[in-house]
Amino acid sequence: MSKIQIKNVYKIFGNNPETVLPIVKEGASKEEVLEKTGHTVGLDNVSINIEEGETFVCMGLSGSGKSTLIRHLNRLIDPTDGDIIVDGTNVMELNEKQLIEFRKHEMSMVFQRFGLFPHKTVLENVGYGLEIQGKEPEERKKLSMIQVESVGLQGFENQYPSQLSGGMQQRVGLARALATNPQILLMDEAFSALDPLIRSDMQNQLIELQAKLKKTIVFITHDLDESLRLGDHIGILNAGKLVQVGRPVDIIMNPADEYVAAFVKDVNRAKVIKAKVIMTPKDKVNGMDKTNLVKVQEDQFIEEFLPQVVCTNANCEVVDKQGNIKGYITNKELKESLTKGK
Which tens digit of pLDDT belongs to each residue from 192-225?
777 888 888 888 888 888 888 899 999 999 888 8
Checking if the pLDDT of 292 tops 90, the result is no
Cα separation, 282 vs 106, in Å, equals 45
CB 318 within 8 A of CB 329: yes
What is the torsional sign of CA 282, 284, 286, 292?
Answer: negative
**pTM, rounded to two decimals:** 0.83
Q: State mean pLDDT over 41-59.
A: 96
Number of H helices, E strands in the chain: 15, 14
Domain map of the chain by residue range?
A: 4-106+182-267, 271-339
pLDDT band per the 50, 70, 90 thresholds, residue 8: very high
What percent of the chain is modeled with pLDDT above 90? Answer: 46
What percent of the chain is modeled with pLDDT above 70? Answer: 99
CB 74 within 8 A of CB 186: yes
Q: State mean pLDDT over 288-293.
A: 85
CB 40 within 8 A of CB 34: yes
Residue 341: what pLDDT?
58
**Fold category of 271-339 in CATH:** CBS domain Like (3.90.1280)
Residue 37: what pLDDT?
95
Q: State mean pLDDT over 117-143.
A: 90
Which tens digit of pLDDT belongs to each residue from 75-85?
999 999 999 99
Q: How far apart are the first and last CA of the chain?
A: 37
Question: Which of 173-209 are b and which e, b meaning 16 or more Cβ less than 10 Å from the residue's Cβ?
Answer: bbbbbbbbebbbbbbbbbbebbeeebbebbbebbeeb
**Fold category of 4-106+182-267 in CATH:** Rossmann fold (3.40.50)
Contacts of 42 (CB under 8 A, 6+ apart): 11, 12, 13, 65, 68, 240
Q: What angle do CA 260, 262, 266 make, to 5 degrees?
A: 115
Q: Write 149-156 long-range contacts (CB < 8 A, 24+).
A: 150/175, 150/178, 150/209, 151/175, 151/205, 151/209, 152/205, 153/122, 156/122
Q: What is the mean pLDDT of the chain?
A: 89
CB 219 within 8 A of CB 190: yes
Checking if the pLDDT of 342 tops 60, the result is no
Burial class (CB in 10 A: 0-12, 13-18, 19+), 258: exposed
Q: Which among 21, 42, 19, 18 has a CA at the least distance from the CA of 30?
A: 42
Q: Which residue has the higher pLDDT, 58 or 264?
A: 58
Checking if the pLDDT of 113 tops 80, the result is no
**Range of weakest confidence among 230-234, 240-244, 266-270, 292-296:** 266-270
Percentage helix, strand, coil for the chain under 3-state DSSP, each rounded to 5: 45, 25, 35
Which tens digit of pLDDT belongs to each residue from 163-180?
988 888 888 888 888 888
Residue 165: what pLDDT?
85
Q: Which residue has the higher pLDDT, 336 or 3?
A: 3
Residue 26: what pLDDT?
95
